[in-house]
Amino acid sequence: MLCGCCRMSLHLQHHSNHSAFSLGLAFISTKTHLLHFKLNDFSSSNLDFRGPLVAGCIQPKSPFINTSLLNHSLSEQEDDGEPPSERLSVVPGGIVALGKFEALHIGHRELAIQAARVGIPFLLSFVGMAEVLGWEPRAPIVANCDRKRILSSWAPYCGDVTPTEFELDFSKVRSLTPRQFVEKLSKELGVCGVVAGKNYRFGYRASGDASDLVKLCEEYNMEAYIINSVMDKKQDSRAIGFDNPKEQGQVSSTRVRHALGRGEIKYVSELLGRQHRLMLMCNAGERFTRESNRISASKCCLLNLPPKDGLYENCLVVISDENSAPCRVTIDTTHIHLELDDIETCNYIVSQGFWFLGIDFFG
């Protein structure tokens, strides 16, 4: 028999398995050149299309946390009743940067930075890949409700413009050949060009590579801009246990998952370009509990991937962008425990009945 929160968590995992942010496109509006490679300027390499789960967030009922933390959790769908994919037509002369936006790491940020150098960046993610491809559920690296906050933090790198995410149903593009996919970008979405990494693959069964992308874009009178991957300078494939011969040392969501699984918080921060934020959400059936200066929650309240079980001394519990407190975090097989020196903050969290907390991990 599962507790109410566990049942809710499983429901969220199942639902987010159907709406996984797995691949992304960043839209920018101008024809200015970024990096324009010829066909023989790079060699093709495979890209893992496996995407994450994305757990949704429910607006807490507590009136005390109507703060920017929750404001950031509102999706673009909540800002506008119009389906986000239909709003793409209002992006005039867009240039599309294609990538994989699971972890929103520094490699993904670089795509947004490059996009912002020539226009206003928009991110579009394919959803429903897990359902279509039959992948097993797994926790997302970034909670769906936290993505907008992270993208906002990229604004200083992007000319003070915050990239905006949109969604496109993967089932509607899965069977497209590379040519059909580029045709869709050109004729249906009205973009003028694309930006992609050297290892980008696209089309049915990932049959197209970056060289195909350049060639097809030329046929459809679209510009193609190819950028180098951001490399992981701290670790190599052997050092972190990768045995995939296609692994070339680039920053990747796989590396972030691996580092979290080993509890290497400093390394995680370097890959992400920020602290990893773990999001917790309780429901009426299971709330945060307190014993002295220690607050505990069941692991089934987690909305994204935690580091491995253990003690983490240097953390910050985030109630809002303006309200946080240092804490120590212990993760065991069933629960996550926050120990605060500030008893008043501990009292405040429990007495006000918060449903929603963030925990930043510092290396």
If one compares 25 and 73, the residue with the highest pLDDT of the two is: 25
Segment (H or E) for 164: strand 164-169
If one compares 140 and 283, the residue with the highest pLDDT of the two is: 140
Mean pLDDT of the chain, nearest integer: 75
Per-residue pLDDT at 52 exceeds 50: no
- pLDDT tier for residue 187 given thresholds of 50, 70 and 90: confident
pLDDT at residue number 235: 67
Cα(165)–Cα(253) distance, rounded to whole angstroms? 18
User: Dmax of the chain from CA atoms?
Assistant: 68
Q: Residue ranges per domain, the chain?
A: 20-230, 276-361
pLDDT at residue number 359: 97
- pLDDT tens sequence across 101-149: 899 999 999 988 888 887 777 777 788 888 888 888 889 999 999 999 9
pLDDT at residue number 244: 59
Per-residue pLDDT at 201 exceeds 70: yes
The 10 Å CB-count burial string (b at 16+, else e) for 257-285 is bbbbeebbbebbbbbbbbbbbbbbbbbee
Per-residue pLDDT at 230 exceeds 80: yes
Instruction: Identify the architecture of domain 276-361 in CATH.
Output: Beta Barrel (2.40)
pLDDT at residue number 325: 92
Burial label for 151, CB within 10 Å (0-12, 13-18, 19+), is buried
Q: How much of the chain, in percent, has pLDDT values that exceed 70?
A: 69
Structure tokens at 172: 């509607």
- pLDDT tier for residue 285 given thresholds of 50, 70 and 90: low
pLDDT at residue number 131: 86
Least confident of 49-58, 121-130, 243-252: 49-58
Per-residue pLDDT at 290 exceeds 70: yes
If one compares 261 and 131, the residue with the highest pLDDT of the two is: 261
Backbone angles phi, psi at 195, to 5 degrees: -125, 135
For the residues 261-289, what does the mean pLDDT come to? 91
Per-residue pLDDT at 284 exceeds 80: no
If one compares 2 and 180, the residue with the highest pLDDT of the two is: 180
Cα(16)–Cα(13) distance, rounded to whole angstroms? 5
Least confident of 15-19, 56-60, 113-117, 152-156: 56-60
For the residues 35-55, what does the mean pLDDT come to? 32
What are the residue ranges of helices labelled H in the chain?
4-17, 68-73, 76-79, 106-116, 129-133, 147-153, 178-183, 210-219, 253-261, 265-272, 343-351
Neighbours of 237 (CB within 10 A): 16
Three-class secondary structure of residue 234 per DSSP: coil
Cα(287)–Cα(156) distance, rounded to whole angstroms? 37
pTM tops 0.85, yes or no: no
- pLDDT tier for residue 43 given thresholds of 50, 70 and 90: very low
Cα(321)–Cα(300) distance, rounded to whole angstroms? 24
Least confident of 16-30, 147-161, 265-279, 334-348: 16-30
Least confident of 53-67, 192-206, 245-259, 306-320: 53-67
State which amino acid sits at residue 218.
E
pLDDT at residue number 323: 84
pLDDT at residue number 313: 96
76 contacts: CB under 8 Å, gap ≥ 6 = 84, 164, 165, 166
DSSP letter, residue 277: E
Task: Tell me if domain 20-230 and domain 276-361 are identical in fold.
Answer: no
- pLDDT tens sequence across 76-102: 334 444 445 544 544 556 667 787 789
Q: Cβ(342)–Cβ(316) under 8 Å?
A: no
- pLDDT tier for residue 70 given thresholds of 50, 70 and 90: very low
If one compares 56 and 169, the residue with the highest pLDDT of the two is: 169
Per-residue pLDDT at 57 exceeds 60: no
- pLDDT tens sequence across 312-344: 999 999 988 788 899 999 999 999 999 999 888
Instruction: Identify the architecture of domain 20-230 in CATH.
Output: 3-Layer(aba) Sandwich (3.40)
